[in-house]
Amino acid sequence: MASLAQTSAWQPWLRDGILGVVFCFIGPFLPKLEPQGKDLAGKTAIVTGANSGVGYGLALQLAEMGATVYLACRNKSKAEQAKKDILKDCPGARITTLSLDTSSFKSVRSFAQDFKHGPIDILAHNAGISIIPNGQDFSEDGLEYMYQVNFLSSFLLTYLLEEHLSADARVIFTSSLGSYAGRLWDGFATGKTRMKIEPGFHSAPYSASNSTRYGQNKLMQAAFAKALQARFATQHGSKRLAFSFEPGLVKSNILSTLSQAAFDPALWALSKLQQAVGLDVRQGSATGVDLATSDAASVVQHGGRYFDRMQVRTHAVDSYGEDKLNRLWKRWSKDCGIHWVD
Protein backbone atom coordinates (compact mmCIF):
# COMPACT_ATOMS: atom_id res chain seq x y z
CA MET A 1 0.00 0.00 0.00
CA ALA A 2 2.84 2.37 0.83
CA SER A 3 4.34 1.72 -2.56
CA LEU A 4 1.03 2.53 -4.25
CA ALA A 5 0.70 5.75 -2.26
CA GLN A 6 4.20 6.81 -3.23
CA THR A 7 3.47 6.08 -6.88
CA SER A 8 0.31 8.20 -6.74
CA ALA A 9 2.28 11.05 -5.21
CA TRP A 10 4.85 11.28 -7.96
CA GLN A 11 2.57 10.59 -10.93
CA PRO A 12 1.58 14.27 -11.43
CA TRP A 13 5.26 15.28 -11.19
CA LEU A 14 6.18 12.70 -13.82
CA ARG A 15 3.23 13.71 -16.00
CA ASP A 16 4.18 17.38 -15.97
CA GLY A 17 7.84 16.57 -16.59
CA ILE A 18 6.88 14.52 -19.65
CA LEU A 19 4.58 17.32 -20.83
CA GLY A 20 7.50 19.71 -20.61
CA VAL A 21 9.62 17.46 -22.80
CA VAL A 22 6.82 17.17 -25.36
CA PHE A 23 6.36 20.94 -25.40
CA CYS A 24 10.06 21.34 -26.23
CA PHE A 25 9.50 19.41 -29.44
CA ILE A 26 6.19 20.96 -30.49
CA GLY A 27 6.40 24.44 -28.91
CA PRO A 28 6.29 26.40 -32.19
CA PHE A 29 3.15 24.53 -33.23
CA LEU A 30 1.19 25.16 -30.02
CA PRO A 31 -1.22 28.10 -29.59
CA LYS A 32 0.59 31.38 -29.02
CA LEU A 33 0.94 32.44 -25.41
CA GLU A 34 -0.66 35.83 -24.76
CA PRO A 35 0.07 37.47 -21.40
CA GLN A 36 -2.85 39.63 -20.27
CA GLY A 37 -0.67 42.69 -19.98
CA LYS A 38 -1.33 45.78 -17.89
CA ASP A 39 -0.31 49.40 -17.60
CA LEU A 40 3.05 49.41 -15.82
CA ALA A 41 3.63 53.15 -15.99
CA GLY A 42 5.38 54.22 -12.81
CA LYS A 43 6.59 50.68 -12.09
CA THR A 44 10.23 49.64 -11.86
CA ALA A 45 11.64 46.36 -13.13
CA ILE A 46 15.12 44.83 -12.96
CA VAL A 47 15.93 42.04 -15.39
CA THR A 48 19.27 40.26 -15.05
CA GLY A 49 20.89 38.81 -18.15
CA ALA A 50 18.63 41.02 -20.25
CA ASN A 51 20.83 41.49 -23.31
CA SER A 52 19.58 38.37 -25.13
CA GLY A 53 17.21 35.42 -25.06
CA VAL A 54 14.50 35.15 -22.43
CA GLY A 55 15.87 38.11 -20.47
CA TYR A 56 15.65 40.33 -23.53
CA GLY A 57 12.09 39.15 -24.15
CA LEU A 58 11.12 39.95 -20.56
CA ALA A 59 12.69 43.40 -20.71
CA LEU A 60 11.10 44.22 -24.07
CA GLN A 61 7.57 43.25 -23.07
CA LEU A 62 7.75 44.96 -19.68
CA ALA A 63 9.00 48.11 -21.42
CA GLU A 64 6.12 47.90 -23.90
CA MET A 65 3.73 47.91 -20.93
CA GLY A 66 5.29 51.14 -19.69
CA ALA A 67 7.64 49.97 -16.94
CA THR A 68 11.00 51.58 -16.31
CA VAL A 69 13.33 48.66 -17.00
CA TYR A 70 16.91 48.21 -15.84
CA LEU A 71 18.97 45.81 -17.92
CA ALA A 72 21.43 44.26 -15.45
CA CYS A 73 24.13 42.65 -17.57
CA ARG A 74 27.75 41.56 -17.39
CA ASN A 75 28.67 42.78 -20.87
CA LYS A 76 28.14 46.54 -21.15
CA SER A 77 28.32 46.73 -24.95
CA LYS A 78 25.77 43.93 -25.39
CA ALA A 79 23.50 45.61 -22.87
CA GLU A 80 23.69 48.89 -24.80
CA GLN A 81 22.88 47.07 -28.03
CA ALA A 82 19.88 45.44 -26.36
CA LYS A 83 18.73 48.88 -25.22
CA LYS A 84 18.98 50.19 -28.79
CA ASP A 85 17.01 47.21 -30.09
CA ILE A 86 14.26 47.70 -27.51
CA LEU A 87 14.02 51.40 -28.30
CA LYS A 88 13.76 50.54 -31.98
CA ASP A 89 10.76 48.28 -31.30
CA CYS A 90 9.36 50.48 -28.55
CA PRO A 91 10.27 54.16 -29.07
CA GLY A 92 10.10 56.12 -25.86
CA ALA A 93 10.71 53.11 -23.65
CA ARG A 94 12.39 53.89 -20.34
CA ILE A 95 15.49 51.68 -20.43
CA THR A 96 18.71 51.92 -18.43
CA THR A 97 21.70 49.58 -18.53
CA LEU A 98 23.56 48.63 -15.36
CA SER A 99 26.60 46.45 -14.74
CA LEU A 100 26.08 43.11 -12.97
CA ASP A 101 28.37 40.09 -13.08
CA THR A 102 26.77 37.18 -11.23
CA SER A 103 30.07 35.30 -11.07
CA SER A 104 31.26 37.89 -8.53
CA PHE A 105 29.74 38.67 -5.14
CA LYS A 106 31.62 41.97 -5.22
CA SER A 107 29.75 42.93 -8.39
CA VAL A 108 26.41 41.86 -6.89
CA ARG A 109 27.02 43.91 -3.75
CA SER A 110 28.10 46.94 -5.78
CA PHE A 111 24.98 46.69 -7.93
CA ALA A 112 22.70 46.58 -4.88
CA GLN A 113 24.54 49.40 -3.14
CA ASP A 114 24.39 51.65 -6.20
CA PHE A 115 20.74 50.95 -7.07
CA LYS A 116 18.79 53.96 -5.85
CA HIS A 117 15.86 54.13 -8.21
CA GLY A 118 12.85 53.76 -5.96
CA PRO A 119 10.77 50.72 -4.99
CA ILE A 120 11.34 47.64 -7.14
CA ASP A 121 8.09 46.18 -8.47
CA ILE A 122 9.54 43.36 -10.58
CA LEU A 123 12.81 41.56 -9.94
CA ALA A 124 13.45 39.02 -12.69
CA HIS A 125 16.39 36.69 -12.10
CA ASN A 126 17.32 35.45 -15.55
CA ALA A 127 21.13 35.62 -15.85
CA GLY A 128 22.75 32.24 -16.29
CA ILE A 129 24.94 29.87 -18.26
CA SER A 130 24.60 26.26 -19.34
CA ILE A 131 28.33 25.60 -19.77
CA ILE A 132 31.18 26.59 -17.48
CA PRO A 133 34.10 28.41 -19.12
CA ASN A 134 36.91 26.00 -19.95
CA GLY A 135 39.06 25.33 -16.92
CA GLN A 136 37.01 27.53 -14.60
CA ASP A 137 35.32 25.24 -12.11
CA PHE A 138 35.32 27.89 -9.39
CA SER A 139 34.43 31.56 -9.10
CA GLU A 140 36.67 34.24 -7.59
CA ASP A 141 34.72 33.63 -4.37
CA GLY A 142 35.77 29.98 -4.28
CA LEU A 143 32.37 28.52 -5.13
CA GLU A 144 31.41 26.19 -7.95
CA TYR A 145 31.14 28.54 -10.93
CA MET A 146 27.76 27.62 -12.40
CA TYR A 147 26.17 27.38 -8.96
CA GLN A 148 27.16 30.97 -8.21
CA VAL A 149 26.33 32.39 -11.65
CA ASN A 150 22.98 30.68 -12.11
CA PHE A 151 21.65 30.65 -8.59
CA LEU A 152 23.61 31.85 -5.60
CA SER A 153 24.09 35.43 -6.78
CA SER A 154 20.32 35.64 -7.28
CA PHE A 155 19.87 34.58 -3.67
CA LEU A 156 22.34 37.25 -2.52
CA LEU A 157 20.84 39.95 -4.74
CA THR A 158 17.33 39.24 -3.45
CA TYR A 159 18.62 39.54 0.11
CA LEU A 160 20.36 42.83 -0.63
CA LEU A 161 17.35 44.31 -2.44
CA GLU A 162 14.58 42.93 -0.22
CA GLU A 163 14.14 46.20 1.67
CA HIS A 164 13.66 47.99 -1.66
CA LEU A 165 10.91 45.66 -2.92
CA SER A 166 7.46 47.23 -3.14
CA ALA A 167 4.65 45.79 -1.01
CA ASP A 168 3.26 43.90 -4.00
CA ALA A 169 6.54 43.11 -5.79
CA ARG A 170 6.96 40.07 -7.98
CA VAL A 171 10.22 38.08 -7.87
CA ILE A 172 10.61 35.81 -10.91
CA PHE A 173 13.15 33.08 -11.62
CA THR A 174 13.82 31.76 -15.12
CA SER A 175 14.11 28.07 -14.31
CA SER A 176 14.14 25.19 -16.77
CA LEU A 177 12.76 21.79 -17.60
CA GLY A 178 16.23 20.65 -16.55
CA SER A 179 15.13 21.23 -12.96
CA TYR A 180 13.14 17.99 -13.19
CA ALA A 181 16.45 16.15 -13.55
CA GLY A 182 17.95 17.83 -10.48
CA ARG A 183 18.01 16.32 -7.03
CA LEU A 184 18.93 17.98 -3.75
CA TRP A 185 20.00 15.13 -1.51
CA ASP A 186 18.68 15.13 2.04
CA GLY A 187 22.15 14.70 3.51
CA PHE A 188 23.78 17.82 2.06
CA ALA A 189 26.08 19.77 4.36
CA THR A 190 24.78 23.00 5.86
CA GLY A 191 28.30 24.38 6.30
CA LYS A 192 29.98 26.32 3.51
CA THR A 193 32.53 24.51 1.35
CA ARG A 194 35.09 26.28 -0.83
CA MET A 195 36.96 25.10 -3.91
CA LYS A 196 35.00 21.85 -3.97
CA ILE A 197 32.38 20.46 -6.33
CA GLU A 198 30.40 18.89 -3.55
CA PRO A 199 28.53 15.64 -4.29
CA GLY A 200 24.91 15.79 -3.25
CA PHE A 201 24.41 19.53 -3.21
CA HIS A 202 25.39 21.55 -6.26
CA SER A 203 26.13 18.40 -8.23
CA ALA A 204 24.75 14.90 -7.92
CA PRO A 205 26.97 12.11 -6.53
CA TYR A 206 27.26 10.34 -9.84
CA SER A 207 28.37 13.19 -12.07
CA ALA A 208 29.49 16.80 -12.26
CA SER A 209 28.75 17.35 -15.95
CA ASN A 210 27.47 20.68 -17.23
CA SER A 211 23.95 19.29 -17.62
CA THR A 212 23.97 17.88 -14.07
CA ARG A 213 25.11 21.16 -12.56
CA TYR A 214 22.59 23.08 -14.65
CA GLY A 215 19.72 20.88 -13.49
CA GLN A 216 20.75 21.33 -9.87
CA ASN A 217 20.88 25.12 -10.22
CA LYS A 218 17.48 25.27 -11.87
CA LEU A 219 15.99 23.06 -9.17
CA MET A 220 17.41 25.44 -6.55
CA GLN A 221 15.63 28.34 -8.24
CA ALA A 222 12.30 26.53 -7.92
CA ALA A 223 13.07 25.67 -4.29
CA PHE A 224 14.05 29.26 -3.51
CA ALA A 225 10.84 30.59 -5.06
CA LYS A 226 8.86 28.34 -2.72
CA ALA A 227 10.95 29.29 0.32
CA LEU A 228 10.82 32.99 -0.54
CA GLN A 229 7.04 32.86 -0.86
CA ALA A 230 6.86 31.33 2.62
CA ARG A 231 8.94 34.24 3.90
CA PHE A 232 6.71 36.78 2.15
CA ALA A 233 3.65 35.16 3.75
CA THR A 234 4.97 36.06 7.22
CA GLN A 235 5.43 39.74 6.37
CA HIS A 236 2.47 41.76 7.61
CA GLY A 237 0.68 43.60 4.83
CA SER A 238 2.86 42.09 2.12
CA LYS A 239 1.35 41.04 -1.18
CA ARG A 240 4.70 40.02 -2.61
CA LEU A 241 4.82 36.95 -4.82
CA ALA A 242 7.64 34.70 -6.00
CA PHE A 243 7.53 32.27 -8.93
CA SER A 244 9.76 30.08 -11.05
CA PHE A 245 8.98 29.21 -14.64
CA GLU A 246 10.05 27.12 -17.59
CA PRO A 247 10.44 29.26 -20.73
CA GLY A 248 10.47 26.34 -23.15
CA LEU A 249 13.23 25.67 -25.62
CA VAL A 250 14.09 29.18 -26.79
CA LYS A 251 16.34 30.29 -29.62
CA SER A 252 19.04 32.06 -27.63
CA ASN A 253 22.80 32.06 -27.16
CA ILE A 254 22.83 30.10 -23.88
CA LEU A 255 24.32 27.09 -25.68
CA SER A 256 26.54 29.12 -28.00
CA THR A 257 29.74 28.27 -26.12
CA LEU A 258 29.24 24.54 -26.43
CA SER A 259 32.48 23.06 -27.72
CA GLN A 260 34.25 19.76 -27.99
CA ALA A 261 36.34 20.67 -24.93
CA ALA A 262 33.17 21.06 -22.86
CA PHE A 263 31.22 18.33 -24.62
CA ASP A 264 28.06 17.21 -22.87
CA PRO A 265 25.76 14.83 -24.78
CA ALA A 266 22.56 16.18 -23.20
CA LEU A 267 23.43 19.80 -23.96
CA TRP A 268 24.61 18.92 -27.46
CA ALA A 269 21.23 17.31 -28.18
CA LEU A 270 19.44 20.36 -26.78
CA SER A 271 21.47 22.69 -28.98
CA LYS A 272 20.40 20.78 -32.08
CA LEU A 273 16.77 20.74 -30.97
CA GLN A 274 16.97 24.45 -30.19
CA GLN A 275 18.10 25.23 -33.71
CA ALA A 276 15.30 23.13 -35.19
CA VAL A 277 12.23 23.98 -33.11
CA GLY A 278 13.25 26.75 -30.68
CA LEU A 279 10.73 29.41 -29.70
CA ASP A 280 11.25 33.10 -30.34
CA VAL A 281 12.11 35.22 -27.30
CA ARG A 282 8.60 36.69 -26.99
CA GLN A 283 7.06 33.26 -26.60
CA GLY A 284 9.89 32.07 -24.38
CA SER A 285 9.40 34.97 -21.99
CA ALA A 286 5.59 35.04 -22.12
CA THR A 287 5.08 32.95 -18.99
CA GLY A 288 7.53 35.11 -17.06
CA VAL A 289 5.78 38.28 -18.21
CA ASP A 290 2.44 36.86 -17.12
CA LEU A 291 3.80 35.95 -13.68
CA ALA A 292 5.31 39.41 -13.31
CA THR A 293 2.14 41.29 -14.21
CA SER A 294 -1.07 39.25 -14.02
CA ASP A 295 -3.66 39.78 -11.29
CA ALA A 296 -5.60 36.67 -12.30
CA ALA A 297 -6.41 34.15 -9.59
CA SER A 298 -4.62 31.49 -11.64
CA VAL A 299 -1.41 33.39 -10.86
CA VAL A 300 -1.79 35.22 -7.54
CA GLN A 301 -3.21 32.20 -5.73
CA HIS A 302 -0.15 30.12 -6.61
CA GLY A 303 2.78 32.07 -5.19
CA GLY A 304 5.91 29.98 -4.84
CA ARG A 305 4.92 27.56 -7.57
CA TYR A 306 6.55 26.50 -10.84
CA PHE A 307 4.86 27.40 -14.13
CA ASP A 308 5.13 26.23 -17.74
CA ARG A 309 3.14 27.71 -20.63
CA MET A 310 1.31 30.02 -18.22
CA GLN A 311 0.02 27.05 -16.22
CA VAL A 312 1.04 25.93 -12.74
CA ARG A 313 2.81 22.56 -12.85
CA THR A 314 3.56 19.86 -10.32
CA HIS A 315 7.23 19.87 -9.39
CA ALA A 316 9.55 18.00 -7.05
CA VAL A 317 9.86 21.08 -4.82
CA ASP A 318 6.14 20.86 -4.05
CA SER A 319 7.06 18.00 -1.71
CA TYR A 320 9.83 19.93 0.08
CA GLY A 321 8.87 20.47 3.69
CA GLU A 322 9.73 23.39 5.94
CA ASP A 323 12.72 21.59 7.42
CA LYS A 324 14.38 20.94 4.07
CA LEU A 325 13.71 24.46 2.83
CA ASN A 326 15.13 25.92 6.04
CA ARG A 327 18.26 23.81 5.70
CA LEU A 328 18.69 24.94 2.10
CA TRP A 329 18.19 28.57 3.13
CA LYS A 330 20.81 28.16 5.85
CA ARG A 331 23.29 26.66 3.41
CA TRP A 332 22.72 29.30 0.74
CA SER A 333 23.13 32.04 3.34
CA LYS A 334 26.42 30.60 4.53
CA ASP A 335 27.70 30.27 0.98
CA CYS A 336 26.88 33.96 0.44
CA GLY A 337 28.41 34.99 3.75
CA ILE A 338 25.16 36.51 5.03
CA HIS A 339 22.77 35.97 7.93
CA TRP A 340 19.31 36.20 6.37
CA VAL A 341 16.61 35.65 8.96
CA ASP A 342 13.39 37.35 9.97
Closest CA to 137 of 195, 201, 205, 207: 195
Query: Read out DSSP for 285-333?
Result: HHHHHHHHH---HHHHTTTT-EEETTEEE--GGGG--HHHHHHHHHHHH
Determine phi and psi for 71, rounding to 5 degrees.
-90, 105
- If we measure between CA atoms, which residue out of 83, 87, 82, 75 comes closest to residue 52? 82
Q: Do residues 165 and 231 make contact, with C-beta atoms less than 8 angstroms apart?
A: no
214 has catalytic annotation: yes
CA distances 129 to 52, 102, 280, 292, 321, Å, are: 12, 10, 19, 22, 29
Side chain identity, residue 89: D
Catalytic member of 145, 147, 180, 214:
214
What is the DSSP secondary structure assignment for residue 36, as one 8-state letter? Answer: -
**Residues acting as catalytic residues:** 214
